[in-house]
Amino acid sequence: MTRKSQDANGSTIRDVAARAGVSASTVSRVLGGEYPVSTATRTRVLRAVRELDYVADARAKAVAGVGTPTLAFVLEDITGPSFALMAHGVEREATRLGHLCLVCSTEGDVQRELDFIETMRAQRTAAVILVGGTADTPEYRTRTRRIADSLAAAGSRLVLCGRPPLGPGAPVTVIEYDNEGGAYALVAHVLAQGHQRVLFLGGKPDHATAQGRERGYLAAHRARGLEPDPELLLHGDFTRDSGHRLMRQALSRKLEFTAVVAATDMVAAGALTALHEAGLSVPGDVSLAGYDDIPFARDLYPALTTVHVPYEELGRLAVRTALGRTPESPDEHLLLGTHVVVRNSITTV
């Protein structure tokens, strides 16, 4: 059987050509180009296209150099509200710019991340957007640098969102949000309400984002001449369960504090529930703040005071800067600002 319409695959341009009684080139020209085609021919071709319900194979077009460009978004887990927000921004901007959007969840597995990136290089994606914090180790830098070079050599571009930059010269676009500054402002706000002992529910100790927020926490204290009690610095991860667990620990250890600052809103949500379970009132008995300003923050009770991070805008920005450039462009580093949004979860002491 030699390429009859018997098989389950769609019809080819040659099928259309045969049916319209023209050559494949003509069909291509009718469908694609500026090339002059007589009205009669055009009509016949279009009818054949309609009758066969023909759509040109995008992969073949891509090989020929005229395909729909694609871009990849690699993240840990789309389920996290802030990641979802970013994904939304990425996806919107990508389709606005005529790109398709591949998404890959690494589930936090470095090897899987590497595999995805290699696959994306094979797919010849216009850009690979990598999001989600990691440890900023030398090993991370060389590994990521190598990836960036590979992609650049293939005409693609690596974008790092909320990840540590790689140092000068790497063909990479880095977009960060100001973790330290945001945390500083937030904690300063808490301290300004008169709180002296504020519990910090942090992330993984080596996680760059977590570190930034922790630095802000410390800096805000020192700016007021306070030295925070190391006992009040707890480490976990950025999940709701981590917040819940840490809060219970703090309570059972009978740590003294009048306010809690969580490294993310998810952590804050878990902590809030733990506080409620312990019969404590927020902010009556203890004040609470989060970080990220995920949509749900305002529906917690009390509505959560937090730091707004423009995640969706971040996603849009990532694709815009990634696509509006040549592969040889120099490295680029954007730092997005954040601001505190005051709600009802903090009170004066």
Residues contributing to the site for a second copy (CB under 8 A) = 8-10, 53, 55-60, 62-63, 67-68, 77-79, 81, 84-85, 87-88, 91-92, 95, 100-105, 107, 118-119, 121-124, 150, 153-155, 240, 269-270, 272-273, 276, 295-296, 298-301, 303, 326-328
Question: By C-beta, is 92 or 197 nearer to a second copy?
Answer: 92
Tell which positions 202-231 bind DNA, by CB under 7 A: none
273 burial via Cβ count (<10 Å: 0-12, 13-18, 19+): middle
Contacts of 50 (CB under 8 A, 6+ apart): none
Mark residues 53-92: x for contact with DNA by CB under 7 A, - for none. Answer: ---xx--xx-xxxx--------------------------
105 binds, among DNA, a second copy, none (CB under 5 to 8 A by kind): a second copy
Q: Counting contacts by CB under 7 A, is residue 24 touching DNA?
A: yes
Q: For tokens 């010269």, name the residue.
A: 169
In terms of C-beta distances under 8 Å and separation of at least 24 residues, what long-range contacts does 234-237 make, across chains too?
Answer: 234/199, 234/200, 234/201, 234/202, 235/202, 235/203, 235/204, 235/205, 235/210, 236/201, 236/202, 236/203, 236/204, 236/267, 237/203, 237/204, 237/207
Among 1, 4, 36, 272, which residue sits at the site for DNA (rule: CB under 7 A)? 36
91/343 Cα distance (integer angstroms): 30
Mark residues 4-23: x for contact with DNA by CB under 7 A, - for none. Answer: -----xx-xxx------xxx
Question: Do residues 282 and 54 make contact, with C-beta atoms less than 8 angstroms apart?
Answer: no
- Please tell me whether the peptide bond between 205 and the residue prior to it is cis, using omega within 30 degrees of 0: no
Count of residues interacting with DNA (CB under 7 A): 33
Q: Counting contacts by CB under 7 A, is residue 196 touching DNA?
A: no
141 binds, among DNA, a second copy, none (CB under 5 to 8 A by kind): none
Residue 167 has which token pair? 């140092």
DSSP 270: H
Which residues contact DNA (rule: CB under 7 A)? 2-3, 9-10, 12-14, 21-29, 31-33, 35-38, 40-41, 56-57, 60-61, 63-66
